[in-house]
Structure 1
Amino acid sequence: MKKRLSNYLVILETVKKDSSLLATFDLQEMIVQIHFFQHERLIHLLVTLFFGILTFLCVLYISLFPSIALFALNVLFFILLVFYLRHYYFLENNIQKLYSFYDEIKKLKNEMHF
């Protein structure tokens, strides 16, 4: 998904700069793509929250019942949480860019009367 979103942002940048592409660009298709990426962001938010809660609960359990195995499990949860946070951060920021591109492209199309 990261590669797909990055590629789509490059396409939108190209469309924004080229008036011939802008003339044929479908804003409705862009809205559909934004919805796909929003759905992906929601799923990753839920997974990130789940791993955050698991990590927190594991820390609480370890503080009450220390165990090497639980500590190892907590380290694994923490590593997964860090990677999920990084990916969610990427999704969140780039979906915000999609909103900006949508507004800019819509404005350009209105100015050019397409």
Structure 2
Amino acid sequence: MKQISIRMKDRIRNYTASIDQLLQNPPQSTNWKLVQESHLQQIVFFQHERLVHLIVTMTVAVLTLLSAGFALLTGLFTLLLLTGVLFLLFLCYLLHYFLLENQVQAMYVQYDRIQKHLHP
């Protein structure tokens, strides 16, 4: 069985783009109640992903600060290397968290627009 792997960044962007397209050109037969329920479930999934990445991002930030503190206190070069690696990892997580946060916020706006179709 072929396994398909989609990066979270692509998944959330593709999903929000598909909802934007549906909202711009909705077919006459659109079941807005079903769209609303499905969209709400996707929001829950992405909120969970966002929470997990917030926890991981904060953990890496704390480890980076601890590593920097120990490097300054001990003067060990290897701890400076560890601090650099942790800092790069922190930046990557921060950028990913920023993407998730912004996309989930956009999904809230989409949800409000879906609501308008249900309650004109």
Q: Same fold (TM over 0.5)?
A: yes
User: Separation in 1 of the partners of 2:115 and 2:15?
Assistant: 16
- 1:30 is matched with which residue? 39
Q: Does 1:100 align with 2:99?
A: no
Task: Tell me how large the CA RMSD over aligned residues is.
Answer: 1.3
Which of 3, 8, 15 is matched with 2:22 structurally?
15
Structure 2 CA distance for partners of 1:10 and 1:22, relative to 1, 3 Å? farther
Could you tell me how far 1:82 is from its partner in structure 2?
Answer: 0.4
Q: Secondary structure, in 3 states, of the residue corresponding to 1:9?
A: helix
Equivalences, count: 111
Structure 1 outlier segments of 4+, above 4 Å: none
User: Separation in 2 of the partners of 1:49 and 1:97?
Assistant: 23
Conservation of the 8 A alpha-carbon contact between 1:15 and 1:22:
no
| TM-score (normalizing by structure 2) | 0.87
Q: For residues 1-114 of structure 1, what are the structure 2 equivalents within 5 Å? A: 1-20=8-27, 23-25=30-32, 26=34, 27-111=36-120
Q: Which runs of 5+ in 2 are unaligned?
A: 1-7
- Identity over the aligned pairs, expressed in percent? 35
Amino acid at match of 1:69: T
Conservation of the 8 A alpha-carbon contact between 1:62 and 1:71:
yes
Q: Which has the higher helix share?
A: 1
Amino acid at match of 1:24: N
User: Separation in 2 of the partners of 1:7 and 1:24?
Assistant: 21
User: Separation in 1 of the partners of 2:28 and 2:105?
Assistant: 22
